[in-house]
Amino acid sequence: MDMTQNALLMKISEAEFVCVELNLYLNTHPDDEDAQADYYSYSVKLRNLIERYEEAYGPLKNFGHSPTMTGEWARSRWPWEV
C-alpha cells in the first residue's frame, strides 16, 4: 500500500469517525439541528472521499455497494494484512 493510498484511507477513517460519533449522538438526540447539519456535511464528505479512493484503488464495499466489473474485490489486500 503506497503513501497516497494510505493517506486517503486515513482521511476516509477520519470522516467516517465523525459520522459514527454523530450518528450515535443523533440516535438519542434526533432533534439537534446543528448535529443533523454536521452529520449531513460529513456524510457527503465521506461519500466523496470513498468515490475518490475507489476510482484509484478499487472497491471498498461488497454486495453491490461499490460498483465494479473487474473482480478487484477478491484481489485487493485485506485490512489485517498490512
Q: Which residues contribute to the site for other proteins (CB under 8 A)? A: 9-10, 12-13, 16-17, 20-21, 23-25, 27-30, 59-63, 65, 73, 76, 78-80, 82
Are 45 and 15 contacting, i.e. CB atoms less than 8 angstroms apart?
yes
Compute the least distance from the CB of residue 18 to other proteins, in Å.
12
* Backbone CA torsion sign across 32, 38, 44, 48: negative
Compute the least distance from the CB of residue 37 to other proteins, in Å.
19
Compute the least distance from the CB of residue 41 to other proteins, in Å.
19
Q: Grid coordinates representing 68?
A: 465494479
Sequence letter at residue 77: R
C-beta closer to other proteins: residue 24 or 37: 24
Q: Grid coordinates representing 29?
A: 438526540
